[in-house]
Structure 1
Amino acid sequence: MSNQIEADLPKKERLFQALIEQLRIQSMDEINISQLCQKAGVSRMYYYRNYVSLEDIVREKLDQMFHDYLLQIEKYKRKGHEAMNSSLSSRQ
């Protein structure tokens, strides 16, 4: 595993990736915030400004994934609805 997460990723994504890497070798209770921040290439101040706990990092990522999933469903539904309307109007 790499010592530091890719610097071109957004800070929140780097923290999430660093957390996932650490969870492969440590439990959530064993993870040190300073080491996590160092691995992610962000300051502890950034971490504490944005999160109260490590669980908040996971929660935020899951919320984002769920939001993206709902957007994809809406896009799919609109696309299907447009295709159906197009099909109906071509019959007339």
Structure 2
Amino acid sequence: MRYEEHHIAGRRNSNVTIRLCVECHRRITACQGAIGVPLSGTTEETQRTAAMILGLLIIAETIANAYARRIAERYGLAPDPRTGYRTPRVA
């Protein structure tokens, strides 16, 4: 399996990285862009901090979903057709 370095807040916002497989790196980077993380960089410190927090939350959600899927599959539980293995979001 190939791994890449992922910049948690985006390459131009922070040097903090973690190692991810290529597929997870692509998926998480796409999520960052979809929710508005300024991947092209920003000079505003509050936006950089927000980018770091959002990046960490996306990673945590990705890990939680993976574990939920594995546990559900192991115990023969069926996913909710509306949300998959994720818990429904309350509006």
Into which bin does the TM-score normalised by the smaller protein fall? 0.3 to 0.5
Higher Cα Rg, which structure: 1
TM-score normalised to the size of structure 1?
A: 0.39
The answer to which structure has the higher strand fraction is 2
TM-score normalised to the size of structure 2?
A: 0.39
The answer to which structure has the higher helix fraction is 1
